[in-house]
């Protein structure tokens, strides 16, 4: 600890000021965007923040710790359902009790922050104006529930490695979802019916979601640059070596997993509020798949990259609906032909830039001929009278994202930014690895021509004894 005090980051105060300034700038930008932009833009921004929380927390496990966790949707489900149950309004609760199909008991229906505050005498906090406080308590409890489950899941499964661990986390994620509707848990989760009518003013609010995103980024980046984070990165690079260096493998893995599932629970709570209801089919594996796309596209291990990837995924999800409209079949075929031609062009440009020889490979001709044939077919089809009618591209966004993920994995497995993080030194093109004054002196001593005279070896050995 004492040594680190002497290391002074260059321009530390400037960086802090710049960070504060940038945060204010983001807030002003959000203010302008939400007041001028449409409702759709606001909900897209909120979704970006919610999924950003989830991806940044998943990145702690997948990127920093190097464990492929595929059960993030399960932890989100726990956080989401806890939040939904705790803040549901009274008339919704009465409806659930009155409904014959629900299997909730009066006790589980009565589980709410409202009743808790009433019971301990804080009736001032049970009004409609103080819903935000109850939501805050509920979402934190949701995060805690998720992290408790993360602990229960993590302790046995984190002894495994690699693929097995991935499949076990996937299995746990699915078990959480599959058992949530069974009769053990349906008194709490309301079975397949789920909860509807969760207040949306928090999940759809840019301020709430971005505040949580900011807290998440702050906590996780602090963790990443602490000794815990260094130990986790060590585990990622080489488990055996870091164990030999004295890193407690199980402790760090479980710690990362629990912190990650806590924030997954927070994201789940906001997600439920964004959706306005908690249902089991809003927590499918699809969710984790989207996060994996965001991680891989942006750069697994880098918070900056992960946020960039999340922005892309959210953009495709919210603004990709033109892809799923109904178009003429010939239009679709034309689009496929154009994509094939563009692929051929990309191959050509790629090989020209890389100066690969042969410049033109068989795949180029293959794509070119297939593309030309498809385009010709699409253009001729109306006059030939074949392939009439329209076709709805249902699921095209997911197809687009999965193809994108395959392409990223094949051609640029590190993603957009790799493991690099955003920092101010990068903005100002500063070098953080400038040698200190002492190191300069040593360098000068080493390059001293006097030492290179015959017999210098004796001198150096003298110095080494110092």
Partner 1 sequence: MASKSTKVKKTINWIPWLLVLAILAIVVGRIIYLGTVHDRFSSAYFIRAFLESLKLGSLYALIALGYTMVYGIIRLINFAHGEVFMVGAFFTYYLFSFSPYPLYAAVIWSIFIAFGFMKIIELWRGKLKDPVVLASGAFAFVLATYLLSQTTVNFFVALVFSMLLTGVLGIVIDKIAYSPLRTAPRNSLLITAIAVSFFWQNFGLLVFTNRQTPFRPDTFLRNRMVFAVGDGTVRTTMLSFAIPLISVILVVILTLFVTRTRLGKAMRASAQDAEVAQMMGISVNKVIATTFLLGSMLAAAGGAMWGLNFGSLNQPAIMGILPGIKAFAAAVIGGIGSLPGAVIGALIIGFMENFMTAIFPKTAEFQGITEFKDTFAFILLIIVLLIRPSGIVGEDLSEKV
Q: How far is the CB of 295 from partner 1 (least distance, A)?
A: 8
Q: Does 179 bind partner 1 (CB under 8 A)?
A: yes
> Which range, of 80-88, 116-124, 178-186, 433-441, touches partner 1 by CB under 8 A?
178-186
Geometric angle at alpha carbon 143, from 137 and 146, rounded to 5°: 140
- What φ, ψ does residue 415 adopt, rounded to 5°? 80, -170
Token reading at 243: 């164990």
DSSP string, 316-338: HHHH-GGGGSEEEHHHHHHHHHH
Geometric angle at alpha carbon 330, from 325 and 332, rounded to 5°: 45
Token reading at 269: 């709570």
Q: How far is the CB of 406 from partner 1 (least distance, A)?
A: 5
- What φ, ψ does residue 182 adopt, rounded to 5°? -80, 175
Q: How far is the CB of 436 from partner 1 (least distance, A)?
A: 36
Four-point Cα dihedral 28, 30, 33, 36, nearest 10: -60
Q: Does 296 bind partner 1 (CB under 8 A)?
A: yes
Q: Does 161 bind partner 1 (CB under 8 A)?
A: yes
Residue closer to partner 1 by CB (options 231, 292) is 292
Residue closer to partner 1 by CB (options 201, 237) is 237
> Which range, of 87-95, 180-188, 350-358, 428-436, touches partner 1 by CB under 8 A?
180-188
* Nearest by Cα to 1 from 221, 220, 226: 226
Residue closer to partner 1 by CB (options 182, 227) is 182
Q: Does 350 bind partner 1 (CB under 8 A)?
A: no
Q: Does 164 bind partner 1 (CB under 8 A)?
A: yes
> Which range, of 177-185, 204-212, 338-346, 421-429, touches partner 1 by CB under 8 A?
177-185
Residue closer to partner 1 by CB (options 65, 139) is 65
Residue closer to partner 1 by CB (options 62, 273) is 62
* Nearest by Cα to 15 from 305, 422, 437: 422
Residue closer to partner 1 by CB (options 62, 330) is 62
Residue closer to partner 1 by CB (options 3, 163) is 163
Count of residues that interact with partner 1, criterion CB under 8 A: 46
Residue closer to partner 1 by CB (options 45, 168) is 168
CB atoms within 10 A of CB 198: 26
> Which range, of 42-50, 172-180, 197-205, 311-319, touches partner 1 by CB under 8 A?
172-180
Distance of alpha carbon 383 from alpha carbon 358, whole angstroms: 40
Q: Does 163 bind partner 1 (CB under 8 A)?
A: yes
**Contact call for residues 64 and 233 (beta carbons, < 8 A):** yes
Q: How far is the CB of 182 from partner 1 (least distance, A)?
A: 5
Q: Does 322 bind partner 1 (CB under 8 A)?
A: no
Outline where DSSP puts E strands in 341-424: 390-392
Question: 59-88 mask for partner 1 (x: CB under 8 A)?
Answer: ---x---x-x-x------------------
Token reading at 373: 């044939």
Instruction: Tokens 């385009």: give the residue.
Output: 375
Residue ranges in 377-436 that form contacts with partner 1 under rule CB under 8 A: 393-396, 398-399, 401-403, 405-406, 409-410, 413
Outline where DSSP puts E strands in 213-288: 277-278
Query: C-alpha 88: how far from its chain's center?
Result: 27
Q: Does 30 bind partner 1 (CB under 8 A)?
A: no
- What φ, ψ does residue 328 adopt, rounded to 5°? -65, 145
Q: Does 294 bind partner 1 (CB under 8 A)?
A: no
Residue closer to partner 1 by CB (options 334, 405) is 405
DSSP letter at 63 equals: I
Residue closer to partner 1 by CB (options 24, 192) is 192
Residue closer to partner 1 by CB (options 27, 396) is 396
Residue 112 contacts by C-beta under 8 Å, 6 or more apart in sequence?
85, 86, 87, 88, 93
Identify the sign of the CA torsion 37, 40, 266, 234. negative
Q: Does 336 bind partner 1 (CB under 8 A)?
A: no
Which residue in the set 65, 84, 88, 293 belongs to the binding site for partner 1 (CB under 8 A)? Answer: 293
Side-chain half-sphere exposure of 342, counting CA atoms within 13 A: 6
Q: How far apart are the first and last CA of the chain?
A: 26
Residue ranges in 192-251 that form contacts with partner 1 under rule CB under 8 A: 240
The helix/strand/coil state of 195 is strand
Residue closer to partner 1 by CB (options 25, 406) is 406
Q: Does 170 bind partner 1 (CB under 8 A)?
A: yes
Label residue 173 exposed, middle or buried (CB < 10 Å: 0-12, 13-18, 19+): buried
Q: Which residues form the interface with partner 1 (CB under 8 A)?
A: 62, 66, 68, 70, 156-157, 159-164, 166-168, 170-172, 174-175, 178-179, 181-183, 240, 285-286, 289, 292-293, 296, 393-396, 398-399, 401-403, 405-406, 409-410, 413
């Amino acid at each position: 600890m004492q040594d680190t005090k002497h290391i002074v980051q260059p321009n530390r105060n400037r960086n802090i000021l710049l960070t504060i300034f940038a945060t204010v700038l983001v807030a002003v930008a959000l203010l302008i965007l939400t007041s001028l932009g449409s409702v759709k833009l606001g909900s897209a921004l909120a979704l970006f923040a919610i999924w950003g929380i989830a991806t940044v927390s998943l990145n702690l496990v997948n990127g920093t710790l190097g464990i492929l966790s595929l059960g993030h949707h399960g932890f989100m489900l726990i956080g989401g359902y806890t939040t939904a149950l705790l803040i549901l309004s009274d008339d919704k609760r009465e409806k659930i009790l009155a409904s014959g199909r629900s299997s909730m008991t009066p006790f589980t229906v009565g589980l709410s922050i409202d009743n808790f505050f009433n019971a301990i005498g804080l009736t001032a906090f049970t009004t409609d104006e103080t819903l935000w406080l109850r939501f805050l308590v509920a979402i934190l409890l949701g995060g805690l529930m998720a992290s408790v489950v993360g602990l229960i899941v993590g302790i046995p499964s984190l002894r495994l490695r690699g693929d097995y661990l991935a499949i076990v986390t996937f299995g746990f994620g699915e078990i959480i979802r599959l058992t949530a509707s069974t009769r053990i848990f349906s008194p709490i989760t309301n079975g397949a019916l789920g909860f509807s009518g969760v207040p949306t003013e928090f999940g759809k609010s840019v301020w709430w979601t971005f505040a949580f995103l900011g807290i998440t980024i702050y906590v996780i980046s602090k963790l990443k640059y602490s000794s815990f984070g260094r130990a986790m990165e060590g585990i990622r690079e080489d488990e055996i070596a870091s164990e030999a260096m004295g890193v407690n493998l199980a402790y760090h893995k479980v710690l990362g997993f629990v912190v990650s599932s806590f924030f997954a629970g927070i994201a789940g709570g906001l997600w439920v509020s964004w959706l306005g209801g908690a249902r089991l089919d809003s927590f499918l594996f699809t969710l984790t798949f989207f996060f994996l796309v965001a991680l891989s596209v942006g750069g697994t291990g880098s918070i900056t990259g992960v946020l960039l990837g999340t922005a892309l995924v959210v953009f495709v999800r919210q603004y990709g609906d033109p892809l799923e409209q109904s178009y003429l079949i010939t239009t679709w075929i034309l689009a496929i032909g154009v994509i094939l031609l563009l692929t051929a062009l990309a191959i050509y440009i790629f090989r020209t830039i890389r100066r690969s020889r042969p410049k033109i490979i068989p795949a180029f001709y293959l794509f070119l001929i297939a593309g030309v044939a498809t385009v010709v077919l699409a253009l001729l089809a109306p006059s030939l009278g074949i392939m009439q009618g329209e076709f709805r591209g249902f699921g095209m966004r997911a197809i687009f994202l999965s193809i994108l993920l395959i392409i990223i994995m094949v051609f640029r497995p590190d993603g957009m930014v790799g493991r690099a993080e955003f920092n101010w030194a990068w903005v100002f093109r500063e070098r953080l690895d400038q040698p200190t004054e002492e190191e300069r002196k040593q360098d000068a001593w080493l390059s001293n021509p006097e030492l290179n005279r015959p017999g210098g070896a004796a001198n150096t050995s003298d110095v080494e004894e110092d």
